[in-house]
Amino acid sequence: MAGKKTSQKWKLYEVKDGKISRKNRFCPRCGPGVFMADHKNRWTCGRCGYTEWKK
């Protein structure tokens, strides 16, 4: 029987000086609340598929 996969959203935030900050960017198409995945050579939105290539 496979175990239930737990949420990993806590990895997208960090606390500095008592304030919460986001590590990843938001998607410019979907707006605030939808994070983009940070890959080796690109940023990708998992919801709409928008991609920005890193230089």
Residue ranges of the annotated binding site for Zn(2+) are 27, 30, 45, 48
Closest CA relative to residue 9, chosen from 31, 20, 55:
20
**Maximum CA extent, the chain:** 44
* H/E run at residue 16: strand 13-16
